[in-house]
Structure 1
Amino acid sequence: MAFKTTRPLRFGDCDPSGIAYFPSYLNILVGVLEDFFGSLGFPWKALVNDRRIGVPTVRLDLTFVRPGFQGDELDFVVAVRGIGRSSLDLEHQVSANGQVLWTARHRVVSTSLDTHQSLAWPDDIRAALTSHLEMTDAHHPAT
């Protein structure tokens, strides 16, 4: 079951021509990832402050298909493709006006904010992530 949300592409996210400045997409994507974890019942404030768990990106492969423009409503679809001991493989599809703008393959890793070492997903988080796992023919398990 994919997570879906919408974000506006604002003036400050664009270059002077009104086209999305690609680093802005990454900032928006972090907010989408934060909302994804919140939708699972694990808001980042609680993960960071109470449980001392970080979720840094270790791999991100973006493919740009067409430009986004100031004022576009960006439709994000986040799919869980693999769950490893401490890793999580996600796929993102970002569209506007019914057309795909960009896609991404994204790996994050659970880490201890105290030791800065990888950390096995706690059972409750793993169960929530597993409930969203989507298998495809091209599935490659996380490590």
Structure 2
Amino acid sequence: MFATTRPLRFGDCDPSGIAYFPSYLNILVGVMEDFFADLGLPIRQMIDERKISWPTVRLDLTFVSPGYHGDQLDFTLRVRAIGRSSLDLDHEIRVGDRLLWSAKHRVVATSTETHTSIAWPEDIRAALRQHLEANDAHNPAT
């Protein structure tokens, strides 16, 4: 599991101070960048040197509770399955014990030159495998 905390800033909220849901997606992209950087795969290196990106192809969000300006959002990211080119993730976003929202997320390794899916290189696959949740190891992505 990967975990990080992000503040919910004024610009992320509507005029009443409640999180504007599209802002959550922007924050989630930053969390994904941090996750890959934590694996030793910073986004600039992935794109500029390795010519690999990981666009979202599926994202299923469930909103449970509102977030408010000033909240510290605790993000957890779990690797659920690793496919040839896909990566299935589970996200939970909480403030303390309160669940704000969760997401089931699929990204796909893509060549930045051809914009087509590619197999995860073995070193990236090995780094991702270290985060694979044991109870989901028999549920590979496609």
Residue equivalent to 1:130:
129
Give the unaligned 5+ runs of structure 1: none
Separation (CA, whole Å) in 2 of partners of 1:33 and 1:137: 20
With the length of structure 2 as denominator, give the TM-score of the two structures. 0.97
Secondary structure of residue in 2 paired with 1:136:
helix
Shift of 1:97: 2.7
Give the unaligned 5+ runs of structure 2: none
Residue equivalent to 1:3:
2
Shift of 1:139: 6.7
Aligned residue pairs total 142
User: Where does 1:25-36 land on structure 2 (aligned, <5 Å)?
Assistant: 25-36=24-35
Residue equivalent to 2:107:
108
Secondary structure of residue in 1 paired with 2:134:
coil
User: Where does 1:60-71 land on structure 2 (aligned, <5 Å)?
Assistant: 60-71=59-70
Separation (CA, whole Å) in 2 of partners of 1:55 and 1:85: 13
CA contact (8 A) 1:72 1:97 kept: no
User: Where does 1:3-82 land on structure 2 (aligned, <5 Å)?
Assistant: 3-82=2-81
Structure 1 ranges of 4+ moved more than 4 A: none
Residue equivalent to 2:84:
85
Structure 2 counterpart of 1:77, one-letter code: T
Q: 1:137 to 1:54 in 2, by over 3 A?
A: closer
Separation (CA, whole Å) in 1 of partners of 2:136 and 2:51: 35
Q: Deviations over 1:112-133 (max 9, x none)?
A: 0001110100010000001110
CA contact (8 A) 1:52 1:114 kept: yes
With the length of structure 1 as denominator, give the TM-score of the two structures. 0.96
